Amino acid sequence: MKRILLLEISHTGHHPGYARHILESGIPEDAQIFVAGTQELLSHQELSAVRSRITPIILQFSAEEQKRLADFSFIGLMRREFTIRGIYARAWQQACSAGAIDMVIIPFLDNCAQAFAIAGAPFAATPWIAITMRTQIHFASMGVIAPPPSLVGVRRWLFQRLLKQKNLKELLTIDATLAEFATQQSAAGYTKVSYLPDPSELYPLVPKQEARQQLNLPQNCQLILAYGALSERKGIFRLMQAMADPECPSSVHVLLAGGQDRGVREFLNGPIASSLQSAGRLHLLPGYVPESLVPTLISASDAMWIGYIHFYMMSGVLVLAARHGLPAITSQEGVIGYLVKKYGIGVGVDSKENHTVLNALQQVASGSVDLSFTVERARNFFAGNSWEEFGHRIRMAATAAMGGTTASTQAIKTIAQ
């Protein structure tokens, strides 16, 4: 029986869902799977369906480790990476105590990637695979609009050093621009980079009239949906400012669905949001949105708002909109902006410029033919971004990584030392 270790220090956002779908991918079906995570992750409802299949390892942190994990200063971020590396090393040793591990999976490498590049992976000769979601060393080369990361030359060198590690068998990325960049490189290791389509459920939708009835929304409006963890960075202040413009059709409404940070709550008490609420054009569904409600939100909407500010990575919300035929109003920055410009899969706006947002809202109100074209292109572009395809690619990567080899005896020797 194969023995596989999954390492995940986070328990919020996409992390529990990714862990669940990796465990459901069949990697292989008869393997003994250890999941090392916090108590919050191991007890998360996302893992309820797979909990009987896993052997849990609860990650324990010292007071000093807790302090370092909470430090997001420039220097603190590097210390944090080495702290996570040390925590993962302990978890691997614990998993190996009853027998060697055949493979390690890290669903989110970005919080320890540079520490792994500098000091190596702490798994002796055990093969491992990982997913990266925040690598930015390729942006300038690919024409992605984003500020250059600090010390980009050093970061690129570290990335290459990471890829050269013998026991890293595959580095999966949800960023199509990184996968494309990797194919253009001749340096050793870049062949390990492969594309993992950012997945989304494909929900059965109900008629728009029925969905709006359920949500107590007006029937005769053009509804923009802003969904997820809501903050100023999501560009919703600019969206509401454009809606308040006299040139914005009064038929345009917005639904804010998701958790609200303090800045959003304060803005909602201000004059712009209060005016929109008085006019019945601003609708609120605050707090956690259960997955069961997501199809209703999509069914009720005419467009999805993804006009994020200073956000440069891929977005699962873009995939969600595309797979359900919702036009996307997006930022021109980052990976999202790159894909929208290159493939015509959305309406790009400068979220800092009111007139570009206003123009997009006018397109939604008019039922622009251009929007229907972007919807069809987006649906085709993201046709393979399913959880089934996600599972298939994880399973193929895991199978190739283990390659029929036996678990590393060096792992046991390292622990003994």
> In the chain, where are the structural domains located?
3-199+386-416, 208-381
Fold agreement (3-199+386-416, 208-381)? yes
More confident residue, 378 or 410: 378
pLDDT-wise least confident of 11-20, 116-125, 319-328, 391-400: 11-20
DSSP 219: S
Q: 22 vs 25, 92, 93, 197, 313, CA distance in Å?
A: 5, 18, 22, 13, 21
- The arithmetic mean of pLDDT across residues 212-222, rounded, is 97
- The arithmetic mean of pLDDT across residues 97-113, rounded, is 96
- The arithmetic mean of pLDDT across residues 383-409, rounded, is 82
pLDDT at 383: 95
Q: Place domain 3-199+386-416 in its CATH homologous superfamily.
A: Glycogen Phosphorylase B; (3.40.50.2000)
Query: What is the CATH class of 208-381?
Result: alpha beta
**In the chain, what's the furthest Cα-to-Cα distance?**
73
CA atoms within 13 A on the CB side of 72: 2
pTM: 0.90
Place 414 in a pLDDT band, splitting at 50, 70 and 90.
very low
Which residue from 357, 265, 341 is spatially nearest to 308, judged by alpha carbons?
Answer: 357
Beta-carbon contacts of 222 under 8 Å, excluding residues fewer than 6 positions away, are 249, 251, 252, 253, 302, 303, 364, 365
- Tens of pLDDT, residues 292-330: 999 999 999 999 999 999 999 999 999 999 999 999 999
Beta-carbon contacts of 322 under 8 Å, excluding residues fewer than 6 positions away, are 328, 345, 375, 378, 379, 381, 382, 385
Place 353 in a pLDDT band, splitting at 50, 70 and 90.
confident
Gap between the Cα atoms of 278 and 270, Å rounded: 12
User: From its phi and psi, is residue 181 left (phi > 0), alpha (psi between -120 and 50) or beta?
Assistant: alpha
